[in-house]
């Protein structure tokens, strides 16, 4: 059969290409060993499904997932109250991201040298990130996503910290638990400091052996932290079990369902979201809204449904930075979420799809235009040659100098 797409993150399999003709027993075994449970096949390029089987097109599945997302989360209040506008908090969050990266680089470097994690420094950093998330979660979460591939390991920890804090608050957890969630997010991947640099920073897909080594990082993280009396059991659990899946196909212990703790379930969702939206040396990150849709496709086997729904409420069906098409034919970038509806964010329009021409930029509040304007779909920036769109929503200079390619 011709493999069109693996149903899961590209980090969960060792294949360089995700589209290829599956015609060897060795490749079949590699897929089975990787833990991937489902794949899309293209019957026009390989053997069809058995006679009598019911097959849905990619468009039909996308529409089905969209309906599920809307039905599950649109009727509830998605966000805790915010006190600062996105445009204002972005400036603070930019400085905090820079300080956070430097702090994590230093802490993780000390771990590599055999020193213990300074829990007081970790807590101080988590408190700063929490304050930013409380003021406006979209700023810190979205900026932390804009990491370059060479700083991924460190900024991924910062991003997951912010996502864990926002999710914990969405779930209504206590202040102490919110702090524990943030610390767990910041330290969840510390075991990667024990992975050789040649594997950790490899600018290409890992070999089977390297892939197996990379999967050892949860156990390595536990070994690094377990003797530190200032690191509590919640942090240790997330470090060890953030790659477990609800259906039991995760690692390292193949836990399933309620065998996985609340915080580890939270860590699994936050880790995957930031990973698939981030650029890597061998693959560009997915658009935030597309990532949410993809995660919804996998969610029944991968994630706890209650946790995933709460996560969507915390970041949005169309997270900040998503490229969307409006009913009017205009393209826009999502600025931030509405207080009570995930379907009506503020959007900055800047391009007309039909004529393929820029238009005057304008921020519109879809909550005030119900019945007259709405989002009708997600768009892939690469399809429109929009390589860097962060300038539009963040106000920060684009690394390419322009948001048009």
Q: How far is CA 29 from the centre of its chain?
A: 28
What's residue 66's pLDDT? 72
Residues in the chain, pLDDT under 70? 8-17, 35, 49, 51-56, 58-59, 70-81, 299, 387, 397-405
Give the gyration radius of the chain's Cα atoms.
Answer: 21
Q: In the 3-class helix/strand/coil scheme, how is 103-153 assigned residue by residue?
A: HHHHHHHHHHCCCCCCHHHHHHHHHHHHHHHHHCHHHHHHHHHCCCHHHHH
What's residue 300's pLDDT? 73
What's residue 403's pLDDT? 35
* 12's tokens: 């969960």
* Pair 139, 130: CB distance under 8 Å: no
Whose CA is closest to 356, among 395, 405, 389? 405
Judged by DSSP in three states, 315 sits in: helix
What's residue 400's pLDDT? 42
Please list, in sequence order, all residues whose beta carbon lies within 8 angstroms of the beta carbon of residue 82, skipping any fewer than 6 positions away. Answer: 134, 135, 136, 137
- 86-315: CATH topology is Hypothetical protein af1432 (1.10.3210)
Q: Is the peptide bond before 252 cis (omega within 30 degrees of 0)?
A: yes
Domain definitions of the chain by residue range: 1-50, 86-315, 323-394
Judged by DSSP in three states, 314 sits in: helix
* 269's tokens: 């969702």
pTM: 0.86
Q: How far is CA 139 from the centre of its chain?
A: 15
Q: What does the pLDDT look like over 263-290, one tens digit per residue?
A: 999 999 999 999 999 887 777 788 999 8
Q: What does the pLDDT look like over 147-183, one tens digit per residue?
A: 877 788 899 999 999 999 999 999 999 999 999 999 9
Distance set, CA 197 to CA 154, 194, 203, 213, 269 (Å): 14, 9, 11, 12, 26
Q: Which pairing describes strands 357-365 and 39-41: parallel, antiparallel, or unpaired?
A: unpaired
What's residue 286's pLDDT? 87
What's residue 401's pLDDT? 38
């Amino acid at each position: 059969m011709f493999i069109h797409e693996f149903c899961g993150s590209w980090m969960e399999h060792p294949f360089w290409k995700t589209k290829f003709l599956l015609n060897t027993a060795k490749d079949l075994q590699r897929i089975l060993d990787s833990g991937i449970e489902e794949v899309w096949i293209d019957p026009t390029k390989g053997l069809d499904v058995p006679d009598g089987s019911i097959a849905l097109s990619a468009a039909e599945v996308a529409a089905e997932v969209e309906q599920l997302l809307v039905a599950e989360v649109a009727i509830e209040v998605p966000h805790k109250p915010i006190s600062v506008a996105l445009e204002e908090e972005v400036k603070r969050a930019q400085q905090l991201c820079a300080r956070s990266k430097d702090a994590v680089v230093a802490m993780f470097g000390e771990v590599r040298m055999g020193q213990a994690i300074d829990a007081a420094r970790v807590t101080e950093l988590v408190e700063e990130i929490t304050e930013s998330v409380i003021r406006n979660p979209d700023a810190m979460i979205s900026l932390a996503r804009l990491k370059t591939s060479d700083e991924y390991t460190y900024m991924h920890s910062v991003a997951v910290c912010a996502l864990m804090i926002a999710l914990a608050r969405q779930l209504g957890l206590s202040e102490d638990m919110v702090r524990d969630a943030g610390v767990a997010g910041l330290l969840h991947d510390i075991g990667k400091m024990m992975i050789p640099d040649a594997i950790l920073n490899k600018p290409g897909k890992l070999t089977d052996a390297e892939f197996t080594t990379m999967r050892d990082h949860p156990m390595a993280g536990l070994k690094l932290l377990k003797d530190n009396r200032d690191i509590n059991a919640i942090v240790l659990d997330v470090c060890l079990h953030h790659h477990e899946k609800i259906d039991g196909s995760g690692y390292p212990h193949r836990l399933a369902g309620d065998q996985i703790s609340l915080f580890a379930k939270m860590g699994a969702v936050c880790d995957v979201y930031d990973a698939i939206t981030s650029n890597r040396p061998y693959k560009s990150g997915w658009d935030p809204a597309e990532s949410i849709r993809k995660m919804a496709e996998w969610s029944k086997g991968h994630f706890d449904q209650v946790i995933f729904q709460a996560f969507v409420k915390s970041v949005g069906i169309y997270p900040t930075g998503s490229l969307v098409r409006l009913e009017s034919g205009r393209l826009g970038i999502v600025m931030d979420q509405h207080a009570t509806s995930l379907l009506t964010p503020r959007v900055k329009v800047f391009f007309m799809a039909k004529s393929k021409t820029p238009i005057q930029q304008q921020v519109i509040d879809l909550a005030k235009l119900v019945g007259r304007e709405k989002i009708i779909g997600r768009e892939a920036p690469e399809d429109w040659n929009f390589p860097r769109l962060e300038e539009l929503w963040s106000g920060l200079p684009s690394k390419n100098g322009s948001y048009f390619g």
